Amino acid sequence: MTHELISQLFMPRFKNTMLESLMDSTLFEVNKGRLAVSTDGFVVNPYFFPGGNIGDLAINGTVNDLLMSGATPLYLTVSFILEEGLPFEHLVTIAESMASATKSAQVQLIAGDTKVVEHGSADGLFITTTGIGSVPDGVNWNPQEVKPGDQIIVSGTIGDHGASVLASRYEMDFDSNIVSDTCHLRDLVLAVRDLPGIRCMRDPTRGGLATTLYELAQASQLNYRIYEKQVPIAESVRGLCEVLGLDPLYVANEGKLVAVVSKEVAETVLTRFQQLEAGKNARIIGEITEELKGWPTLVTPLGASRILDLLSVEQLPRIC
């Protein structure tokens, strides 16, 4: 049955000569240089949500992790864990979303695996993707390159993905206009990769913007100061978060990036982002200071400042 699943469901949708070899491993040619590799498991519940499903999420998520190191994403592998009884038409929809997402992100799926577990031993399906990309010479993005005075840019509204999953999880009515932002960040990254002064990028997924800033602040040992009124948040997402008592700064994104760039190139990066659909709501949201090394801080509209600490408990489990 696994043979049939592979030959009838997956093969026609991910047609390429490398995958067709059906070997235990797949070979590909590389030039001398640096490769980036990233792996991510996806367990989002429910696996269909407004704006996407676990399939395109699994492609975009790993593609974006590669992009965040400045890599051009090239190849993906995918491993499915399927629960017995998963409706076949759901799997077809998910496979089609994955095919479409790989095409859009210009990556090739070159190896895969499928395991089936009994009903009750998994929750629908889980997908693990691993990506390989090439990093051009001269691109060395790293939070340790961040310097005081650098600017913090976010590529669009935050919290959309987490809010859409939450809304669909609880089948809420009032939120029908909230849609996941799941998409690849290829265009945004490639539009600015040639610029000097790009220090580092991250995609604020699990744990949202605040958790990403915390991790960057710890890695840079500098203060990441952002201004509350500068952070773009859709009204619908803000409303949902208020009702549920959630802080949108900690809600997951799946099609946004945070870039830390030198003051000199900040406006150029912003303009290039805003010219792209994926970056039309990009904003400069703050800057790097030396005041509270290792911590991110949020400046409220009244000028008060508070630390954005790591949440000890995940606010939203199984958001990706």
State which of positions 23-52 bind a copy of itself (CB under 8 A).
Answer: 23-43, 45
Nearest C-alpha neighbor of 151 from the set 259, 299, 306: 259
């390159």: which residue's tokens? 145
| Coil vs helix vs strand at 19 | helix
Minimum distance of a copy of itself from residue 115's CB (angstroms): 5
- Residue 133 bridge partners (DSSP): 36, 73
Which range, of 22-30, 98-106, 173-181, 241-249, touches a copy of itself by CB under 8 A? 22-30
Nearest C-alpha neighbor of 188 from the set 303, 67, 49, 30: 67
Task: Return left, alpha or beta for 124; rule: phi > 0 is left, psi -120 to 50 is alpha, else beta.
Answer: left
User: Closest CB to a copy of itself among 238 and 318?
Assistant: 318
Cα Rg, the chain, nearest whole Å:
20
- Residue 134 bridge partners (DSSP): 35, 72
C-alpha 204/C-alpha 251 separation (Å) is 9
- Residue 219 bridge partners (DSSP): none
Tokens of 181: 């932002």
Minimum distance of a copy of itself from residue 46's CB (angstroms): 12
x/- letters, 203..242, toward a copy of itself (CB under 8 A): x--x--------x---x-----------------------
Q: In 10 A of CB 57, how many CB atoms? A: 31
Minimum distance of a copy of itself from residue 101's CB (angstroms): 17
x/- letters, 254..283, toward a copy of itself (CB under 8 A): ------------------------------
User: Closest CB to a copy of itself among 29 and 171?
Assistant: 29
Residues from 52 through 81 that contact a copy of itself (CB under 8 A): 64-66, 68-69, 71, 75, 77-81
User: Closest CB to a copy of itself among 18 and 195?
Assistant: 18
Minimum distance of a copy of itself from residue 126's CB (angstroms): 5
C-alpha 232/C-alpha 244 separation (Å) is 19
Residues from 294 through 313 that contact a copy of itself (CB under 8 A): 310, 312-313
Nearest C-alpha neighbor of 53 from the set 18, 21, 98: 98
Residues from 133 through 162 that contact a copy of itself (CB under 8 A): 133, 135, 142
Minimum distance of a copy of itself from residue 132's CB (angstroms): 7
Residues from 103 through 132 that contact a copy of itself (CB under 8 A): 110-118, 120-123, 126, 128, 130-132
Minimum distance of a copy of itself from residue 238's CB (angstroms): 27
Tokens of 127: 């997908």
User: Closest CB to a copy of itself among 13 and 318?
Assistant: 318
Minimum distance of a copy of itself from residue 257's CB (angstroms): 11
Tokens of 132: 């390989």
C-alpha 30/C-alpha 188 separation (Å) is 25
**DSSP-assigned letter for residue 216:** H
AA letter at 219: A
Residues from 162 through 201 that contact a copy of itself (CB under 8 A): none
Minimum distance of a copy of itself from residue 270's CB (angstroms): 22
Residues from 2 through 21 that contact a copy of itself (CB under 8 A): 2-3, 21
C-alpha 170/C-alpha 48 separation (Å) is 13
Minimum distance of a copy of itself from residue 181's CB (angstroms): 17
C-alpha 83/C-alpha 54 separation (Å) is 14
Answer for which of 161, 186, 202, 256 binds a copy of itself (CB under 8 A) is 202
